[in-house]
Structure 1
Amino acid sequence: MGRFASTASLYEHLRPPYPSEFFRSVAQKLGLSARCALIDLGTGPGLLALGFAGYVGRVVGVDPEPAMLDAARAAAASAGQALTLIEGKAETLAPDIGTFDVVTIGRALHWMDREATLALLDRLVARGGAILVCASFSATDGRNPWLDGYNEIRRRWSPAKLWEEAGKGTRTHRDLPAFFRGSPFQPTELVTVETSHMVSVQDLAQRTLTYSSSSPDALGDNVEAMLRDVEGHLASFSRNSAIAETIVSTAQIVKR
């Protein structure tokens, strides 16, 4: 069982969502159409794959965690979207997988072997195609005043090794030029969409369980104690048990 197996049932509904405006903006920027094929590496429950499905003709999702693929399969059925799912690490995709006009990657780059991934991308990306490195997260510029304390509580309860790995993922996203250095690819444009929504204190607390560093598997018997800690912190920022959250959704376009 992989480290995200215990997060699959929560991930789809509790992570900061990608709004429909995000997918529309990126699709317009790239000129996507029914003639395009897209592959989502590290697809998880299929958030990116299904978000872009309405703008392309064929979508493939790849993930090593069976529980995540089960969630993606259920979400695709619910949305009435055709989605081909492949279990396994992206780096081990068969050579005959073909090429794609768009390769999407969410917060998964830091889990992939860099050299193998760069070689894979070189053969996956069709002529004139693009890589999209995407993220959706709570704004960190002070508009979510509850966030620093929330993350500090997560850090306090998380095993140190797993928290360090989570930090590595953030650093990878912030320094994509370093990741692609020496490859045929380089980051070009950044698409950013900001939205706001209300989220319940309970859901925001439960969101902590969707991260590998504070998943039920990582916390063991400390799950309930951490949730109480988080809910206690969030209470002072809430109104009628809900909190306003500003979300930033980004897509770094990477091309040859």
Structure 2
Amino acid sequence: MGRFATTVALYEELRPPYPAEFFRNVAQRLSLGKQHSLIDLGTGPGLLALGFAPYVGRIVGVDPEPAMIAAARKAAARASQPLTLIEGRAEDLPADIGSFDVVTIGRALHWMDRDATLGLFERLVAPEGTILVCSSHSAADGRNPWLGEFNQARRFWSEASLWSESGGGERIHRDLAAFFHGTRFHVADAVRVEASHEISVHDLARRVLTFSSSSPDALGDKTDAMLRDVEQRLLPLSRKGSVTEVVVAAAQTLKR
């Protein structure tokens, strides 16, 4: 079982969402159309793949976690959207998969081997193609006054778990210019979209379970205690048990 297997049911529902405007803006910036193809590496439940699907023709999602592939397949069926899904590591994709006009990657680059990934991009990205490194996160500029307490609680329970991030697959938020240094790819422009929504402290506590270091598998019998603790920390910062979350969705583009 993979490290994200027990997060599948929660991941799509509880991670900071990509707003529809994000996909529209990126598609307009890149002048995407049905003649274009896109592959999403580390697709998870297909959030990026399905978000971009209306703007391109061929679309492929790749993920090593069987449960994530199953979730993406169900999401594609709900959306009545054709989506080719490949179970396996992106680095192991066969040479005959071809090239793509857009290669997207979200919350996965920090798990991938740099040398293997750079070689993968070299063969996956079409000559005039684009890499999109995407993220969606809570704004950390003070507009989410509950965020500091949430992050403190998440760190506490990650350290309390038996499976810490540093215990196999350390999360490294790489500087893209440094990551692609010495290659033919260069950092181009960025697309940034903000949106806000209401979220309950109950769901914010459950969001802690979507991280591998504090997943249900990692926390085990500490799960209920974690949920209670996070809710108790956040309730004083809420209005009737809910808070406003300002979400920043961003796509950094890289070109040859």
TM-score (norm 1): 0.96
Q: Give the 3 Å change call, closer, same or farther, for CA 67–199 of structure 1 in structure 2.
A: same
Q: Give the 3 Å change call, closer, same or farther, for CA 5–113 of structure 1 in structure 2.
A: same
Q: CA deviation at 1:164?
A: 4.3
Cα distance in 1 for residues equivalent to 2:237 and 2:169: 26
Q: List alignment gaps of at least 5 residues for structure 2.
A: none
| Alignment-derived partner of residue 117 in structure 2 | 117
Q: Is the 8 A contact 2:165 2:171 kept in 1?
A: no
Q: Is the 8 A contact 2:111 2:169 kept in 1?
A: no
The ranges of structure 1 where at least 4 consecutive aligned residues each deviate by more than 3 angstroms after the TM superposition are 163-170
| Alignment-derived partner of residue 201 in structure 2 | 201
Q: Is the 8 A contact 1:162 1:213 kept in 2?
A: yes
| Alignment-derived partner of residue 106 in structure 1 | 106
Cα distance in 2 for residues equivalent to 1:13 and 1:157: 21
Secondary structure of the structure 2 residue equivalent to 1:236: helix
Q: For the aligned residues, what is the CA RMSD? A: 1.5
1:30-74 deviations in Å (ceiling 9; x for gaps) = 010000000000000000000000000011000000000111000
TM-score (norm 2): 0.96
Q: CA deviation at 1:158?
A: 1.1
The aligned amino acid for 1:48 is L
Q: Is the 8 A contact 1:45 1:68 kept in 2?
A: yes
| Alignment-derived partner of residue 65 in structure 2 | 65
Count residues with an aligned counterpart.
254
1:152-196 deviations in Å (ceiling 9; x for gaps) = 111111137724479964622xx1111111111111101100111
The structure carrying a bigger helix percent of its residues is 1
Cα distance in 1 for residues equivalent to 2:12 and 2:168: 19
Q: Is the 8 A contact 1:159 1:218 kept in 2?
A: no
Cα distance in 2 for residues equivalent to 1:72 and 1:206: 20
Cα distance in 2 for residues equivalent to 1:146 and 1:6: 26
| Alignment-derived partner of residue 131 in structure 1 | 131
Alignment map for 1:81-96 (pairs within 5 Å): 81-96=81-96
Identical counterparts, % of pairs:
65
Cα distance in 1 for residues equivalent to 2:208 and 2:253: 29
